[in-house]
Amino acid sequence: MKQYATQYELELRENVIPFWEKHAPDREFGGFFSCLDRDGSVYDTEKFMWMQWRIVWMFAELSSTFEANPHWVELARGGFDFLTRHGIDDQGRYCFSLTREGTPATAAYNVYSDCFATMGAAALFRATQEPRYRDEALRAFGVFQGRQVNPKGQWEKSLSGRRPMQKMGYFMMQLNLALVLEQCLGTLDHREVMARNVNYILDMFWNEKLGLLFEYATLDGQFELESMLGRHINPGHAAEAAWLLLYVADLLKQRAAIERACEMLLRMLEFGWDKQFGGIFYFKDALGKPHFEIQWDAKLWWVHVEALVATALAYKLTRRTEFASWFQRIHEWTWSRFPDRDYGEWFGYLNRRGEPTHMLKGGKWKSFFHLPRCLLLCQKWLAEL
């Protein structure tokens, strides 16, 4: 474990942070470039709010928990200023994307823009103790919570003929935000939100009989196995939810929730693992029927790094050997395929056999977040072991 901890720290310090520190900042207009080719060159200047706020959070978080670095704080500050100046619509919601100069380019149809604004602003408050960052974190969190019933607002396409469904990812992110707010603001104001979401995810989306964490459930917690959407399984989300559940349940001393989350993680890893080529599938159908997404068998970076985080924390909390074995299996498959030793950072998208399908290092959905967070958390937890 000590060897792993050293490897993860060096990767973060020498291979991942320098790539984004060099190539991401837009020194002319502010904010960041996230659409970066293999060598870090920019191939699209549109600024997607998810990616922008994740970069703000990551630089601020690194300075607070990894190594105090005023330059990282200034990068986060610059991103915050650009996004709050240009990115908020007339209802207080963050747009989905901006032009390079800051003109709104895509409407605020996606609630996760507000989600990551909460994280980024909160991390900046911890790094600086400036009240304006705390105030924006709490404001954005209020917007996020207020959109629970109808996250897409006027952009929702479903009509009365479609059965209403609730999405696990919303409650997973609400759990994550409550944890981040407690860590960064230094208050216990969100303990009840954390406890409620731990129980809600395990009670409403975890099907113990099938051994699956479902992405969607009906409003009364039923599983719709007659539809493709109802059978949709995302093993990467399950891993991410598992480590958040484990972390918060340990914080709140919920022993039963830790045991349930461990069982969920083990069964989802077994379900999601590709027994022919190795690695973890992007999507699967709960009953093994055809999946509606053509990229269902792809191997994505974030799925694997979230599984590394989950198994590392599960082993730290329980010392169960099966989690150590899973960590080693995922580590070996991941580290032999995703890192780019020529240009730095990691590839994001592999085919089922583990070969890169895209050479990019960042884009509309990939930025400075899942990978550095994994390296940061794993080096810390493995060192503690």
Domain limits, the chain: 1-152+337-385, 163-335
| Pair of tokens at residue 348 | 């994001």
Contact 194, 248 (CB under 8 A): yes
List the beta bridge partners of residue 98: 47, 104
Domains 1-152+337-385 and 163-335 share a fold: yes
What is residue 191's three-state secondary structure?
helix
pLDDT of residue 100: 98
Rounded distance between C-alpha atoms, residue 192 and residue 187, angstroms: 12
| Pair of tokens at residue 375 | 């390296």
What is residue 184's three-state secondary structure?
helix
List the beta bridge partners of residue 217: 166
pLDDT of residue 157: 84
pLDDT of residue 309: 98
Reported as type and span, the H/E element at residue 203 is: helix 191-204
pTM over 0.85: yes
Rounded distance between C-alpha atoms, residue 188 and residue 249, angstroms: 15
List the beta bridge partners of residue 97: 48, 106
| Pair of tokens at residue 84 | 């709050």
Task: For residue 81, give Cα distances in angstroms to 27, 123, 262, 323.
Answer: 13, 14, 40, 42
Contact 314, 322 (CB under 8 A): no
pLDDT of residue 152: 85
Contact 169, 129 (CB under 8 A): no
Q: Which residues contact 128 (CB under 8 A, 6 or more apart)?
A: 73, 77
Q: How does pLDDT run along the chain (385 residues), one tens digit per residue?
A: 899 999 999 999 999 999 999 999 999 999 999 999 999 999 999 999 999 999 999 999 999 999 999 999 999 999 999 999 999 999 999 999 999 999 999 999 999 999 999 999 999 999 999 999 999 999 999 999 998 888 888 888 888 888 899 999 999 999 999 999 999 999 999 999 999 999 999 999 999 999 999 999 999 999 999 999 999 999 999 999 999 999 999 999 999 999 999 999 999 999 999 999 999 999 999 999 999 999 999 999 999 999 999 999 999 999 999 999 999 999 999 999 999 999 999 999 999 999 999 999 999 999 999 999 999 999 999 999 8
Q: Is 162 exposed, middle or buried (0-12, 13-18, 19+ CB in 10 A)?
A: exposed
Sign of CA dihedral 56, 58, 64, 70: negative
Rounded distance between C-alpha atoms, residue 143 and residue 90, angstroms: 13
Amino acid at 211: G
Top-tier CATH class for 163-335 = mainly alpha
Q: Which string of DSSP letters, residue by residue, matches 258-304?
A: HHHHHHHHHHHHHHHB-TTT-SB-S-EETTSPPPS-TTTT-EEHHHH
What is residue 318's three-state secondary structure?
helix
Sign of CA dihedral 296, 36, 180, 149: negative
Contact 284, 239 (CB under 8 A): no
pLDDT of residue 236: 98
**Which residue matches tokens 């032999």?**
336
Sign of CA dihedral 275, 216, 180, 53: positive
| Pair of tokens at residue 111 | 């609630």
Contact 326, 372 (CB under 8 A): no
Contact 235, 215 (CB under 8 A): no
Calculate helix-pair angle for 168-185, 131-146, nearest 10 degrees.
Answer: 160
What is residue 170's three-state secondary structure?
helix
Longest CA pairwise span in the chain (Å) = 56
| Pair of tokens at residue 81 | 């200023």
Phi–psi pair at 97, nearest 5 degrees = -155, 160
Answer yes or no: CATH 1.50.10.10 is held by domain 1-152+337-385.
Answer: yes
**Which residue matches tokens 């969100």?**
190
pLDDT of residue 95: 97
What is residue 37's three-state secondary structure?
coil
